[in-house]
């Protein structure tokens, strides 16, 4: 789902919408974090690391969503 959100964000960016650079940075970091957590989940004894990365990525998504909504006057 995050990939779809990033694709919509790219479309909005091309359409002329703007958000703070922090919004874009957090969204991309979250995307990378989820991919890393997914890769680590396939290895044994990585449960705590996967959980920590997933939690941090989710926090990044929530803050990025807030900043994006604030930029679009939705918050």
pLDDT, one tens digit per residue, over 21-53 is: 899 899 999 999 999 999 999 999 999 999 999
CA distance 69 to 72: 5
CA distance 23 to 19: 6
DSSP alpha helix (H) spans, 1-75? 2-14, 21-40, 47-71
Q: Highest mean pLDDT: which of 7-11, 18-22, 28-32, 68-72?
A: 28-32
Instruction: Identify the pLDDT of residue 1.
Output: 73
Nearest to 20 by CA among 66, 62, 74, 53: 66
């Amino acid at each position: 789902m995050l990939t779809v959100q990033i694709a919509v964000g790219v479309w909005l960016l091309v359409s002329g919408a703007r958000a703070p650079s922090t919004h874009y940075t957090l969204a991309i970091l979250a995307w990378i974090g989820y991919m890393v957590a997914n890769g680590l989940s396939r290895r044994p004894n990585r449960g705590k690391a996967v959980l920590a990365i997933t939690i941090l990525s989710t926090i990044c998504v929530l803050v990025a969503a807030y900043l994006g909504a604030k930029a679009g006057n939705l918050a």
